Amino acid sequence: MWFIFFLSLFAYVHAKTVTYDFNVTEKWMAPDGFWRAVIAVNGQSPGPTIRARQGDTIVVNVFNGLTKDITLHFHGLQQRGTPSMDGVPYVTQYPIPYGQSFRYEFNTSEQYGTYWYHAHVSGVYADGLRGPMVIESKEHPFHYDKDETLMVYDWYHASSDALLTTLRSTGVFPNCIQSILFNGRGQYKEDNCSDVETAMMMGDFINGYDEMSFNTIATVTHVPDVAPYTVNANPGETVLLRFINAGALVDLDISIDQHSMKVVEADGLYLAHPQTVETLHLSVGQRYSVLVNVTQDAWIRATRLNTDEMMQQSIEGRAVLKYNASSSSSSSLPSSTRWENGTALDEKALSPMDSFNPPKSTRQLRFNLVNYKGNVWTINGKPYKDATVPSICKHQHTDTSYDIRYGDVVDLILQISPNATDTMAHPFHLHGHKFWVLGFGTDEYKASELNEINPPYRDSMYLPQSGWLALRFKADNPGTWLFHCHIEWHMDTGMAILFNEAFDKIHRPQFCNN
């Protein structure tokens, strides 16, 4: 007991304040060989890695050098006691205008693991305003020699403003991406939208976890000669790779040629039963950390995982895993080939290390997801719209807001409507909380299929194509929290709702008095 006390005291004494100054500007860049305006943090995209130790206080001073408003959201951070630091415009703050600054400050005592930050205004993060975030845990239950963060995401050559204008005016959805980047590097292929006949469907994962065939993925020939991102390792080393899907649209299949991956972390929590796999499904917003014993040079692959038969596109991004980086051949590219068959991650068996059964539900909310007019996505047929005053300051009573009492245990049952014109999958993220993933499927919701024994516990999860998803969270964090689809184009046109959680207990920020 005394040992635990002194260990906690030691951690407390050594906690510190970690400060980052972010200057957000527009910069002309060519991440995949195609030049365009990119929104950068301190001149780079992705932005600098925010790194701290569990228990530290993080301060991020953001200066807006753009001609448009911005905020910064720290994806997966629950912001307990600091709901005004969540970075959602007109929910937890006013957006930061051009030429102004905002100070984000929050503590990390209750969380560790892999996270990321991104803009939460319109499509700004799709233009480059995003970066990784790592909180080192007090305990290290497994050994590794080095760790590397791999932020992987879809990339467009058109700006988010142009894509959203086209979507809203014509209904043409920005389904076609130009490349998949690893830490801001990639290559694009001319006319890649014509490669639709061989795309791998998300249903292949849902319907069978054991084996995954990759024979149908087309080999892509890219246009510009851009050096791929490289992860260096020495003989005998075990590398921890932190994968983050920071995209605006695309779910990804992650694999490493001729290397198995031991999955040890999901959305910022260590797993009770790590899985050794050859491939894993990484939905938008999700994070996985994997241990890899490096044995040879290999391609790290991120392949588009299509979420609807009408939205197929065969496209792949690659990074290099370099074995014995100090050798004379360190500049050569791998000659490895992808797994033809691989064991896929079982997403229903991701119980956290400190697992416990969820409490019994006290309230159930059911949501149908529909899209109408071709350019508006909604929950229960009602598109979310920004307030004029931040919801944290003024209680919002709308048809897309829900009052939640402190202590409620809330089930969220999501179903893609049978009469929906769009049946594609949707990656959902809940601010201010983690949730238990009780179940999901590709048909109609069935309460008999719910798992209440050590289910996965995370902050981002996808609703399968034409299917259902059941989540549960405990309302123990007063705040105004957004729940939304993380496909940027869906959220921007209305696929979101707001939870006013224990509104009477929320600590109001000073700006509410101005």
The string of DSSP letters for 204-245 reads HHHH-SS-EE-TTPPPP--SS--PPPEEEE-TT-EEEEEEEE
pLDDT at residue 151 is higher than 90: yes
Residues 95 and 153 grouped into a single domain: no
* Residues 155 and 129 both lie in one domain: no
Is-contact 182 204, C-beta < 8 A? Answer: no
The per-residue pLDDT for 330 is: 56
State the amino acid at position 338 in one-letter form.
Answer: R
497, 381: one domain: yes
pLDDT at 49 over 50: yes
| Of 90, 113, 139, the domain-final residue | 139
Residue 66 to residues 25, 38, 158, Cα–Cα distance (Å): 5, 11, 18
Shared-domain flag, residues 41 and 23: yes
Sign of CA dihedral 297, 47, 178, 215: positive
Terminal CA-to-CA distance of the chain, rounded, Å? 48
d(CA 81, CA 505): 10
Note whether 192 and 109 are same-domain residues. no
Cβ–Cβ under 8 Å, residues 233 and 321: yes
Quick one: average pLDDT of 481-493?
96
Q: Residue 391 is inside which H or E element, if any?
A: none
Question: Total structural domains in the chain?
Answer: 3
56 and 97 together in one domain: yes
User: Which of 139, 174, 206 is the last residue in one of the domains?
Assistant: 139
Average pLDDT of every residue of the chain: 89
Confidence of residue 240 (pLDDT cuts 50, 70, 90): very high
Q: Which residues contact 288 (CB under 8 A, 6 or more apart)?
A: 242, 243, 254, 263, 265, 266, 280, 282, 345
d(C-alpha 300, C-alpha 229), whole Å: 10
- As beta bridge partners, residue 473 has 410
Residue 272's pLDDT is 96
**Nearest one of 440, 482, 495, 436 to 462, comparing CA atoms:** 440
Same domain for 153 and 133, yes or no, is: no
Look at residue 462 and tell me whether its pLDDT is greater than 70: yes
Closest CA to 319 of 342, 295, 336, 339: 336
Higher pLDDT, 356 or 1: 356
Say whether both 115 and 222 belong to one domain.
no
Domain encompassing residue 27:
2-139
Look at residue 431 in the predicted model and tell me its pLDDT: 99
* Section 23-49 average pLDDT: 97
Band of the pLDDT at 110, cuts 50, 70, 90? very high
State whether 427 and 488 are in the same domain.
Answer: yes
Among residues 342, 373, 394, the one where a domain terminates is 342
The partner residues of 61 in beta bridges, in order of sequence, read: 21, 103
Tokens of 444: 């109609």
**Backbone φ, ψ for residue 75 (5° rounding):** -65, 120
Weakest mean pLDDT among 4-13, 38-47, 135-144, 357-366? 4-13
Closest CA to 348 of 461, 211, 250, 447: 461
Which pLDDT score is estimated for 421?
A: 76
Residue 511 backbone dihedrals phi, psi, to 5 degrees: -65, -15
Would the pLDDT of 80 be above 70?
yes
Q: Report the CATH number at residue 490.
A: 2.60.40.420
Question: For residues 80 and 323, which has the higher predicted lDDT (pLDDT)?
Answer: 80
Residue 355 falls within a domain, yes or no?
A: no
In this model, does residue 324 exceed pLDDT 90? no
Strand partners, 115: 133
Confidence of residue 7 (pLDDT cuts 50, 70, 90): very low
Which comes out higher in pLDDT, residue 101 or 421?
A: 101
